[in-house]
Amino acid sequence: MKKMLFVVVASAALYSCVDNPEGKKAETKDSVSANTPAAGAALVVDPNASNIVWLGNKVSGKHTGTIKIANGKLFVQDGKLTGGQFTIDMTSINNTDISDTAYKAKLEGHLKAADFFDVANHPQATFEITAVKDSASKLTIAGNLTLRGVSKNITFDANVLENTSASFKANADFNIDRNDWGINYPGMKDDAISKEINLKVDLQAKAQ
């Protein structure tokens, strides 16, 4: 009996201590309206030069992959980002670290299923900038991230890599807590994967 109890306790401890991926967690609150309408010239997001890399941890390791950015616009005035939005193609969720075809398809199917991102009902996610604080090459961006029909306002830091009248390029590296968008499971199953997902966003927009 004692041996069985030890196994149960040890298993519970194992499943409850999955570390979150490295990365600063985005400040998260309820969705808000943009402070002011975006001003300046509109630059069109380039899907071929833009991308999101995701990373999640689990009890036995971690998985990573990509999600495509479908379209969007950024607004720049006097060399400063003032607003914008972009659409994320959730049907494009892809795993990049699994070589076994069947296992890769199984994981991608799970991520697209109703108990995770529910892609059948929510094939697109969106991000709409609500506020920008600009200091040198560093930006602090706040915006409404809508996933599987749930909208939350997140704040994170971004790095400006290119900023001209014809092109704007920036990247960001931050974590979000999946529970804020209702992605959770009953019992120990929820503890087998990290609460936070790391997102590395590369975004480029160009004048048309």
Place 2 in a pLDDT band, splitting at 50, 70 and 90: very low
Q: How many domains does the chain have?
A: 1
| Section 117-144 average pLDDT | 93
Residue 121, pLDDT above cutoff 70: yes
This model's pTM is above 0.85: yes
How far is it, in rounded angstroms, from Cα 189 to Cα 13?
13
Residue 1, pLDDT above cutoff 90: no
State the CATH number of the domain containing residue 28: 2.40.128.110
DSSP the chain: -HHHHHHHHHHHHHHT-PPPPSSPBPEEEE----SS---SEEEEE-TTT-EEEEEEEETTEEEEEEEEEEEEEEEEETTEEEEEEEEEEEEEEEE-S---HHHHHHHHHHHHSTTTT-TTT--EEEEEEEEEEEETTEEEEEEEEEETTEEEEEEEEEEEEEE-SSEEEEEEEEEEEGGGGT---SGGGGGGB-SEEEEEEEEEEE--
Write the pLDDT tens digit of every residue in 148-167: 999 999 999 999 999 988 99
Question: Which residues form the domain of 71?
Answer: 2-206
Q: Are 76 and 41 in contact (CB under 8 A)?
A: yes
Write the pLDDT tens digit of every residue in 67-115: 999 999 999 998 889 999 999 999 999 999 999 999 999 999 999 999 8
| Section 175-195 average pLDDT | 82
